[in-house]
Amino acid sequence: MAEAAYAKGLEGVVAAESEICRIDGEKGKLYYVGYSIEDLARHSNFEETTYLLLYGRLPSREEMEGFSGRMRSSRDLVPEILDMVRNFPRDAHPMELLQSVISYLSGYVRHKIQHSATCNCRDTLHQVVQLASVVAAWHRFHQDREYVPPRLDLSHGANFLYMIRGEEPDEYEGRVMDACLVLHAEHGFNASTFTARVVASTMSTCYSSISAAIGSLYGSLHGGANEKVMAMVEQIGGSDRAAQWVNRALDEKQKVMGMGHRVYKAKDPRAIIMEEFLLELSRRKNDTRYYDILKEVERAFRERMEEKGKPIYPNVDFFSGAVYNLLGIPKVLFTPIFAMSRVSGWLAHILEQRRDNRIYRPKSLYVGSAPREWTALEHR
């Protein structure tokens, strides 16, 4: 075999075949198992999308009812998990809790299962479902409020809002939250998904693989961009100051968060949908400040980039933080929400990795010292 070319960050390297996700970066298209993200966000829900990712097809009505029932019945947390969440260090980030709790969850499966690299992880949906419950519980405890048990009659997104608020969201808010989970459920071989597959390739368990993926997502270059976008918006303060802020940031070689994507050469299709949600939520709440600032940032940034012949477009993080903010979700929960969405995609990739597994073992390009003679300690 010819020596492979070096690609920093594995950019452009094909590491495996996959049937799960297709990204057409040139045209700004995203597909889960062949279905466009536009159709899924508008017509599906998080439970059905999870089924699609795990089984590779859409369910029948009977299959959907059974699967949804299993997901919803897995939402509640046992007292031991609640104690762990309640007693986790107060100054720790919730992503650190999620990475720890996913392994703890493996000990509290309510039905008998062999934890192994060959078990059918579709049977243990609580490692998908309960991340949302853990995030909600953490939020409640940090407000010195009691845990709100889940409701079985609400969608995954609406139930999450109910568990953090203690009151049922209106129908549109619940629909938006659930659609946001769909938008973040899968995105090919991103850093956290690749991490999950690497761990799975060692024949480790799904819990260990997901825990590792959460650690990868916690990095500021991966999961925390929408939080930084909101910090930018708050720093700008008003749409009339956005252009000046953008120009100064670009002159000082600063990064404008939420603009550009390593894969997309057109506008991120998820950003288009998020923008629609933000506009409608802003109108319903009679508060367009975030929307106005972001649109002016987008306009000013695009204008500067087009002058250089470099059209760069918003990614999903550009609008998602403002959507979550209008839903009453604090910034510290933005990345955990990413995790509780992406866990469906992680599990799908773990199962796919196991089907035709080969342990990942790439080479490195050695650039260190030439062979050297040993020198005894007394002569150094």
* Percent of the chain residues topping a pLDDT of 70: 96
Q: How far is CA 149 from the centre of its chain?
A: 24
Length of the chain: 380
Positions of CATH 1.10.230.10 in the chain: 225-326
User: Taking the CB of residue 223, how many other CB atoms lie within 10 A of it?
Assistant: 25
pLDDT at 297 over 70: yes
72 burial level (CB within 10 Å; 0-12, 13-18, 19+): buried
Average pLDDT over residues 347-367: 92
Average pLDDT over residues 187-194: 95
Question: For the segment 78-104, what is each residue's pLDDT rounded down to a tens digit?
Answer: 999 999 999 999 999 999 999 999 888
Amino acid at 157: G
pLDDT of residue 127: 85
Question: For the segment 2-27, what is each residue's pLDDT rounded down to a tens digit?
Answer: 556 788 888 888 989 999 999 999 99
Question: For the segment 114-171, what is each residue's pLDDT rounded down to a tens digit?
Answer: 666 667 778 778 889 999 999 999 999 999 999 999 999 999 999 999 999 999 999 9
Average pLDDT over residues 187-197: 96
Q: Between the CA atoms of 345, 346, 352 and 357, what dihedral angle is there, to the nearest 10 degrees?
A: 160
Q: Mean pLDDT across the chain, nearest whole number?
A: 92
The residue whose two tokens read 């470099």 is 310
Question: For the segment 14-62, what is each residue's pLDDT rounded down to a tens digit?
Answer: 989 999 999 999 999 999 999 999 999 999 999 999 999 999 999 999 9
Indicate the class that CATH gives domain 225-326.
Answer: mainly alpha
Residue 313, CA distances (Å) to 279, 300, 302 in order: 18, 12, 7
User: Taking the CB of residue 93, how many other CB atoms lie within 10 A of it?
Assistant: 15
- Measure the CA–CA gap between 339 and 91, rounded to whole angstroms: 20
The CATH architecture one would assign to domain 18-219+332-355 is Orthogonal Bundle (1.10)
Question: For the segment 268-277, what is each residue's pLDDT rounded down to a tens digit?
Answer: 999 999 999 9
- Full-model pTM: 0.93
Sequence-separated (6 or more) residues with CB below 8 Å from residue 110:
74, 126
pLDDT of residue 108: 78
Residue 1's pLDDT band, with cuts at 50, 70 and 90, is: very low
**Nearest CA to 75 among 149, 135, 181?**
149
Positions of CATH 1.10.580.10 in the chain: 18-219+332-355
Residue 239's pLDDT band, with cuts at 50, 70 and 90, is: very high
Comparison of pLDDT for 118 and 249, the residue scoring more: 249
pLDDT of residue 265: 85
How far from each other are the two terminal CA atoms of the chain, in whole angstroms?
43
Catalytic positions are 222, 261, 317
Do 241 and 228 form a contact (C-beta atoms < 8 A)?
no
pLDDT of residue 140: 98
Sequence-separated (6 or more) residues with CB below 8 Å from residue 26:
265, 266
Do 336 and 181 form a contact (C-beta atoms < 8 A)?
no
pLDDT of residue 67: 96
Average pLDDT over residues 215-220: 92
Do 77 and 137 form a contact (C-beta atoms < 8 A)?
yes
Average pLDDT over residues 302-323: 89
